[in-house]
Amino acid sequence: MLNTLPDGVALLPTTEGQVPNTSSTLATGGHKVRTVLPLVGAFVVMSVLGMWMHENQHPSHFQKMSTAALTQAVEQKTYGYQNVGKGGCLLPNGTVPKNREAGIKENRAQTSCDQNPKCKGYVVSSGCRGAFLYENPDGTVTGGGKPPKTTYTWRNQPCMAKDLSMVYKKLGYGKCITNDDTEPVNEYLENVMDVECRQKCSNMSTCKGFSAATMNWKGCYLWKVGNLKAGGTAHKWRVASCYMKEEAAAVPQVSTLAPVTLPPVVTLAPLTLPATTSVPSWPPAPTGSDVSYTRLGSGKCTNAEKAGLKHEWTGVGSERVLQKQCSEDETCYGYSASRWGGGLLWKQGGLQKGGASWGGCSCMVKKT
């Protein structure tokens, strides 16, 4: 019986053994006391048990509020991660950054690195579990270092660098839904785990967010529209949550509007406007088979402002294929090819060296 009681509740001890000896004149009264007190103790215990069972079967309003609070949307930032080469992570100057080992799998390694602003990458074991988390408060990391351990499960593992330009908002529990509570346009992948799901969305420009199965479930929704929100318990699915790319928050939903009758056009007198600062525009880039390129340096291209460049990502193809694609496009001013295939086509001029390391790439710029 005691093992079934909640914490802090125990049967009251019988008082029969605690009644002191009295004179013979109190014998009758003492007998009554010894008979009544155990009954009172039993009544108290049964009352406590009854209240506890009722509380478990009919949770209080406070308990219901606490449970509901667990499923409320609390925005958290997460990031994309890029394979930047085999081996341990290194600082840009080639030294080993501060790091720590943790007995966790890759999904937990990503979560830990997401939550630590100093963490800029990780390496995970190909075995059951194990990860090294690398810090660089002032920049990013690249691959090419010695494996964190010499055992075979670490020898060929890559450094996965945090991509600070690929930011997600964790909107809350449940699959993502649109503002009108419908399921967004999506691509569903059945045999995909949560880490791979995030990676696929990061490498796909048409993907605006994702919901991945967790807790050893498989399955991945890649959402193709922005302005998403978490569906909560009404849209629960394999312990998934709603993640949306930060850049997709301002993407308007496509809607069909009723025809609008416009008023007659009124002709106004010419208005002289003050001079304005022109928006920089780049002339068309040269095209054709005779286009040549200059290698400015290692890493992705950047610009004078060190801001994000307009670009197009492709996930497959050799550098020759990527170069040919750029040479045929007058809006392409250069490219950065990944050693594992595919790369980035830079869609604005004024390119400079000095971008972040990414897939062993270089900044290749068209000669004009």
Do residues 174 and 214 make contact, with C-beta atoms less than 8 angstroms apart? Answer: no
State the DSSP H helix or E strand holding residue 36, giving kind and residue range, or none if neither.
Answer: helix 27-57
Pick out the chain residues at pLDDT < 70: 1-75, 250-258, 266, 268-280
Residue 329: what pLDDT?
93
- In angstroms, rounded to a whole number, what is the distance separating the alpha carbons of residues 171 and 214? 16
CA angle 315, 319, 324 (to 5 degrees): 100
Q: Which CATH class is domain 293-366?
A: alpha beta
Q: Which CATH class is domain 79-165?
A: alpha beta
Residue 248: what pLDDT?
84
**Do the domains 79-165 and 293-366 sit in the same CATH topology, yes or no?**
yes
Residue 1: what pLDDT?
38
Residue 19: what pLDDT?
38
Per DSSP (E only), the strands in the chain are 76-86, 99-102, 119-124, 131-135, 158-173, 176-177, 186-189, 209-212, 220-223, 229-230, 241-245, 293-298, 311-314, 334-337, 343-346, 362-366
Q: List C-alpha distances in Å: 33 to 37, 39, 46, 256, 325.
A: 6, 10, 20, 84, 99
- Token pair 């810090």 is found at 135
Q: 3-state class of 221 per DSSP?
A: strand
Q: How many CA atoms, within 13 angstroms, populate the side-chain half-sphere of residue 197? A: 30
Do residues 326 and 336 make contact, with C-beta atoms less than 8 angstroms apart? Answer: no
Residue 2: what pLDDT?
39
Structure tokens at 136: 């660089």
Q: Report domain extents, the chain.
A: 1-46, 79-165, 167-252, 293-366
- Smallest Cα–Cα separation from 211: which of 203, 219, 221? 221
CB atoms within 10 A of CB 330: 11
